Amino acid sequence: MTIDHLHTPGAALWVHAHPREGSLNDRLFREGVSALRETRDVATSDLYADGFDPALRASDLGALSGAPGGIAELLGDAYAQRQLPDDVRREQEKVAAAELLVFQFPLWWYGMPAMLKGWFDRVLTAGFAFGDMDPELGVPRRYGDGGLAGRRALIIVTAGEDEKSIGPRGISGDLDSLLFPLTHGTLWYVGIESYELHVIHDADNLGEEGVENEMQRLRTRLEHLDSETPRGFRKLSDGEYRGSRALRADLAAGRTDLHIHLRD
């Protein structure tokens, strides 16, 4: 079974995860979508406003809810048999159509809100986002390949801390490393390349002038996004992890940090 989805050139999906209308995130969402619509056809998923249910339940399996087996495999069967709930299928249709995916959220407890995590849990199912084997290489079509390959993602995150606190030597941890489960473990796993993070630091103390500056910075980023190069994670299919799924010892020798999975 092939799970490749042909996206619509120029189409985008903006997934927004913040509960408050009128908040900084809400303003960034509205400004960003408006700016992006000047050059793209943009669909939106405003998860809180839409009342999206983030909890993956047995009922997501439809008629297969009582079937034996692991839930990941069963979700793939449910996808193939069109048993997934309507809200999940609607989100999958929007993802499949998009060439660009924008994920916007506040940094809560050094990760994404549960609402957005639940969206990934329910929407990126086997059969839709991953599941095939490469017949020539004998490896799963994951980490740079898969059902959603060919798409790119921009992650927009607001953080209450300053740039040094969540920088490479910050007490709260490097933000790139904190969000590695999203950029690499989720997006790259299903073939989606991600651009460098778009971070709004000191989000709670910007003031109106600071907010306007961030609005303009986001508009400028979106205007020039197509000229940017996504981060170059290593592909599973390139053979650099062959044998053990650990990076070969001769690559980034002696290092164990997460950045070894980026090409120089």
Extended beta strands in the chain, E state: 11-16, 41-46, 100-106, 152-158, 193-194, 198-200
Q: What is the mean pLDDT of the chain?
A: 92
Render the burial of 142-156: b for 16+ CB within 10 Å, e for the rest.
Answer: bbbbbbbbebbbbbb
Average pLDDT over residues 41-62: 96
- pLDDT tops 50 at residue 90: yes
Domains of the chain listed by start with CATH number? 11-231 (3.40.50.360)
In Å, what is the CA distance from 199 to each residue of 16, 111, 183, 236? 15, 13, 14, 28
Mean pLDDT, rounded, for 238-261: 89
pLDDT-derived band of residue 4, with 50, 70 and 90 as boundaries? low
Give the C-alpha separation, 161 to 41, whole Å: 34
Give me the mean pLDDT over the 10-24 stretch. Answer: 95
Q: pLDDT above 90 covers what percent of the chain?
A: 79
pTM across the whole model: 0.92
With contact defined as beta carbons under 8 Å apart, do 22 and 123 qualify? no
Q: How confident is the model at residue 113 (pLDDT cuts 50, 70, 90)?
A: very high
Predicted local confidence at residue 242, as pLDDT:
77
Residue type, 125: T
The Cα 50–Cα 55 span in angstroms is 15
Mean pLDDT of 225-240: 92
pLDDT in tens, 131-184: 876 666 666 788 988 889 999 999 999 999 888 889 888 998 899 999 999 999
**Res 161: pLDDT:** 86
Average pLDDT over every residue of 34-59:
96
Tokens at residue 211, please?
């907010």
Q: What angle do CA 248, 249, 254 make, to 5 degrees?
A: 135
What confidence tier does 76 reach under pLDDT thresholds 50, 70, 90? very high
Can you give the pLDDT at residue 156? Answer: 98
Distance CA 226, CA 229 (A): 8
How many other CB atoms sit within 10 Å of the CB of residue 29?
23
pLDDT at 50: 96
Would you say 229 and 243 are in contact if contact means Cβ atoms under 8 Å apart? no
Half-sphere exposure of 17 (CA within 13 A, CB side): 25
Residue 2: per-residue pLDDT: 43
Task: Return the HEC string of 24-64.
Answer: HHHHHHHHHHHHHCCCCEEEEEEHHHHCCCCCCCHHHHHHH
**pLDDT attached to residue 1:** 38
Best CA proximity match to 14, nearest among 203, 195, 34:
34
- Which is more confident, 206 or 47? 47
